Amino acid sequence: MIVDKLGRRFKNLRVSLTAACNYACTYCVPNGKRLLKAENELSACSLLTLTQLIQAAAGIEQLRITGGDPLVTPKFDDFLLGVAALPLKDFSLTTNGQLLLSKADVIEASGISRMNISLDTLNPLKFKQIARGGDLETVLKGIDKMQALGIKLKVNMVPMRGTNQDDILPLLDYCLDRNIELRYIELMRMGHLTQGTRYQADFLSMQHLLDEIGTRYRFERTDAPFDSTAVRFHIPERGYFGIIANESEPFCTACTRLRLSSDGFLYGCLSNSARTYIGDLVDLPSHLALPKLQKILLKALGDKQLAFQGETTVMKFIGG
Ligand code: SAM
């Protein structure tokens, strides 16, 4: 097992199935153009082979399928069912929820037990303004469908000053009413947000969110697992919410995440664009691929930072 000085090792693998997305969210894409797939994306089969190699070399326990949006690619069904057959403790999915209804059968067949759905507002106009694609009603129906299948849901919201600030409480109410855990994600300085003043203008801190939530609810901070990225809170008799406080309370020193992009690059850290191509390992027998991968993983672990610095890498390549 590869472990660094801080006791960090890779336990969670996030696989970006495609860079393509049916949204063009303002915080992810600068020009409003939908994201296309990467130039040399790997097939579902190759990504599964790499996943198995990484699992063998690093002792991965959990896997999250992400993107782009993972549901937009024809690879989704094969990859999801392939992952479901792997000996993992847990696998999950992050999606914007736009295609959940059309993918409900394969999702049910996979036996997936939990999922994160990104939703930044309950206002249809604001939804169009932020996502620049899709529609709110379809996402809400998708959420209902996933709950009807018994899948445990979290909703991801990125609160931004002057855009969806008014949704901080309505989204919390919506989630609490449905036994869904809301995760507020502090805006991250990624991609185009590393330039100009937009990031500073839009950023809302954990304290800001807590102050606002405190106007309606009494809550207390509660335990979260060692390598959880979220600070978690309990509202007695109502439920839980979390804040991924990249800036206010960075979780880098406990990070166990490793990322594989759709075009076969391995990233050890979201705050570091260092990456290594491993797509060529699929053609090697495992006794030759594994020692090479061990070396690459050691380097990737060394790429981890002590705090989130901001990174020009666009989220679409590595899926957040
Ligand atoms: N398309 C899928 C989705 O919408 O969930 C998966 C990929 S998306 C990159 C994963 C998560 O990253 C989403 O919840 C999105 O809101 C979040 N995200 C993207 N850019 C971000 C940024 N600059 N700051 C904070 N969160 C961001």
Report pLDDT digits (tens) over 175-200: 999 999 999 999 998 888 888 888 99
* Residue 252: pLDDT over 90: no
The pLDDT value recorded for residue 227 is 67
Mean pLDDT, residues 55-61: 94
Could you tell me if the CB of 151 is within 6 A of ligand 1? no
Mean pLDDT, residues 225-249: 91
Backbone angles phi, psi at 317, to 5 degrees: -75, -30
Please say whether the beta carbons of 127 and 158 come within 8 A.
Answer: no
CA dist 193 and 188 (Å) reads: 8
Whose CA is closest to atom 12 on ligand 1?
A: 320
The pLDDT value recorded for residue 113 is 97
* Residue 127: pLDDT over 80: yes
Centroid of ligand 1 to alpha carbon of 137 (angstroms) = 20
Could you tell me if the CB of 315 is within 6 A of ligand 1? yes
* Residue 173: pLDDT over 80: yes
The pLDDT value recorded for residue 238 is 97
Centroid of ligand 1 to alpha carbon of 95 (angstroms) = 9
Residue with the larger pLDDT of the pair 39 and 105: 105
Instruction: Copy the structure tokens of residue 283.
Output: 């053609």
Q: Given ligand 1 and candidates 14, 23, 34, 94, which is best to mutate, with the most ligand atoms within 8 Å of its CB?
A: 94
277-300 pLDDT, tens digit per residue, is: 999 999 999 999 999 999 999 999
Centroid of ligand 1 to alpha carbon of 88 (angstroms) = 24
Please say whether the beta carbons of 168 and 119 come within 8 A.
Answer: no
Mean pLDDT, residues 150-164: 97
Q: CA 153, 156, 161: angle at the middle one, nearest 5?
A: 155
* Residue 226: pLDDT over 70: no
* Residue 87: pLDDT over 90: yes
Centroid of ligand 1 to alpha carbon of 254 (angstroms) = 21
pTM of the model: 0.95
The pLDDT value recorded for residue 320 is 61
Q: Is the dihedral of CA 170, 176, 178, 181 positive or negative?
A: positive
The pLDDT value recorded for residue 136 is 98
Q: What is the CATH number of domain 12-318?
A: 3.20.20.70
* Residue 36: pLDDT over 90: no
Q: Look over the chain and give the mean of its residue pLDDT values, rounded to a whole number.
A: 93
Please say whether the beta carbons of 1 and 59 come within 8 A.
Answer: yes
pLDDT band of 54, cuts 50, 70, 90: very high
From 116-125, 168-177, 202-211, 223-232, the region with the lowest mean pLDDT:
223-232
Centroid of ligand 1 to alpha carbon of 289 (angstroms) = 32
